[in-house]
Amino acid sequence: MFVLVCAFLNAQTDDSTQVRKIYDFYLTQSKSYSNLEVLTKKIGGRLSGSKQAQDAVYWAKKALYDAGADTVYLQPCMVPHWVRGSIEKCVLTSSKLKLNKNLAITTLGSSVSTPMAGLKANVISVASFEELEQLGVEKVKGKIVFYNVKFDDTRIIPSSAYGETVKFRVHGASYAAKYGAVASVVRSMTHARNNFPHTGNMKYDPMVSKEKIPTFALSYLAANELSEALTKDNELMLFLQNESKNLPDAPSFNVIGEIKGSEKPNEYIISGGHLDSWDNGEGAHDDGAGVVQTIDVLSMFKKLGIKPKHSIRTVCFMNEENGLGGANAYFKEADEKKLKHIAALETDAGGFSPRAFGVDTTAGMYKMVLAWLPIFKPYLIEQIKVGGGGADIGPLEKLGVPCIGFEPDNQRYFDIHHTSDDTFDKINKRELELGAAAIGSLIYLIDKHHK
């Protein structure tokens, strides 16, 4: 027993020494920050189907080769091609309150447009789908439904408030249409009290309603104004106008960079983020950060001269935001070719200070990673949580692949998520690099210890 314990402690000391070297590499030689500057400033917002998304594919291919990939693949996928258009207008009018005021609004992704000249209607505020149902066609028909549900400020982790309210963004239009509404608006998914509206994807559900009505998000402050005004004048009107379009699906690619494994080249450890982003900002935290951090996994192996046993892949997924075309294409090929994946890690929660990893219990992965918590503690990783992953690697869970989610500090993410404020200047270089170092270290440890 004593010998075994000593062997375990020696292994942990070796691992700690190597992880220290990995952190030193990232904190002095990482390309994450400079790569992200190019991706955000030279290319910018990269919505699926756009020229910028295509430019990002070519950029990623080069960045992966520069990082030291032996091979870079472009994996074809089909993606929705939604275009926002240049007009987005919302005007609140009330003769009673002598109001005629523009409100900050953004069209939700995949939404249809209003008639060309816009639409004008009374507004009905609801706090839940149940309330909407109780009001029914009689009270809702011909109106604009306002899902007046705030992020719960008492939640410690903002993503849990997001989890509770995002259903109104995704499904609100179909439920409103079911009762004859002409449009729906939601509060922006945020705690931040400002005038940046937050976009994000919505879905029309033909099982709920065959009608497709336009749908929008108001900024936090605009939603407050509307809510307040409705308490004084429930006859007020909103004018809405936009010109979004759903074009035919377009061809695009995931970009996959690989370093071949020296002992088990047919067994893969993958990490990735998503290359596409919303069009209104620069996609800096969501998810340029994840893309550059996982490209940097390859540079770490190359620069430190570590030959991985398993094949190490970085996957820059396409179309996470509005369709998962890339995630499904990766899954399909992995399934058809019976590719063996040891683990899949996703970083899609911003380039903030690392806090935790969420790890699936599948195939003993959680136990293995939990044993390394003492190695990560000096680097401020406080927790290994049960269960993890991300939208892009989610489909791989069907193949029994243990999935891991990188969890940075969440407090500021929803301040800028899906807004025009998600720009490169919101990135802190050291926080971004600490995240890259945590991810690189975990991939290194999995490769070294997985039997």
**What residues are labeled active site?**
320
CB 181 within 8 A of CB 145: yes
State the nearest-atom distance from the C-beta of 286 to Zn ion, in Å.
4
Q: How near is the Cβ of 285 to Zn ion at its closest, in Å? A: 8
Candidates 57-65, 161-169, 341-349, 435-443; binding stretch for Zn ion (CB under 5 A): 341-349
CB of 157 vs Zn ion, minimal distance in Å? 17
| Axis crossing angle, helix 2-29 with helix 289-303, rounded to the nearest 10 | 110
Tokens of 412: 């500021």
By beta-carbon proximity to Zn ion, the closer residue of 146 and 357 is 357
Tokens encoding 228: 């307040």
Strands 105-107 and 119-126, bridge-based pairing: unpaired
For 224, list phi and psi in degrees, rounded to 5.
-60, -45
Please, what is the minimum distance in Å from the beta carbon of residue 320 to Zn ion?
5
C-beta of 213 vs 327, nearer to Zn ion: 327
Strand order in the sheet with 215-218: 99-102, 88-94, 237-242, 119-126, 144-147, 183-187, 215-218, 105-107
List CB contacts of 412: < 8 A, sequence separation 6 or more: 350, 352
User: Could you tell me which stretch among 44-52, 303-311, 345-353, 378-386 binds Zn ion (CB under 5 A)?
Assistant: 345-353
Q: Which is nearer to Zn ion, 308 or 326 (CB)?
A: 326
Q: How many residues bind Zn ion (CB under 5 A)?
A: 3
Site map (CB under 5 A) of Zn ion, residues 246-285, x = contact: ----------------------------------------
Orientation angle between helical segments 2-29 and 429-449, nearest 10 degrees: 140
C-beta closer to Zn ion: residue 279 or 287: 287
The distance in angstroms from the start CA to the end CA of the chain is 22
Nearest to 256 by CA among 246, 237, 271: 271
Q: Does 286 bind Zn ion (CB under 5 A)?
A: yes
- Smallest separation (angstroms) from Zn ion to the CB of 191: 18
Which residues, 287 to 306, sit near Zn ion by CB under 5 A? 287
Which is closer to Zn ion, CB of 202 or CB of 259? 202
**What binding mask, one character per residue, do residues 68-107 give for Zn ion by CB under 5 A, x or -?**
----------------------------------------
The widest CA-to-CA distance across the chain, in whole angstroms, is 84
What is the rounded distance in angstroms from the CA atom of residue 172 to the CA atom of residue 216?
10
Residue nearer to Zn ion on the CB measure, 287 or 296: 287
One of 15, 279, 346, 348 touching Zn ion (CB under 5 A): 348
Q: Quickly list H helices, 216-311.
A: 220-232, 289-303
- Considering only the stretches 14-22, 239-247, 311-319, 347-355, report the one whose residues sit in contact with Zn ion under the rule CB under 5 A: 347-355
Least Cβ distance, residue 273 to Zn ion (angstroms): 8
The closest alpha carbon to 253, from 392, 79, 109, belongs to 79
Binding residues for Zn ion, rule: CB under 5 A, are: 286-287, 348
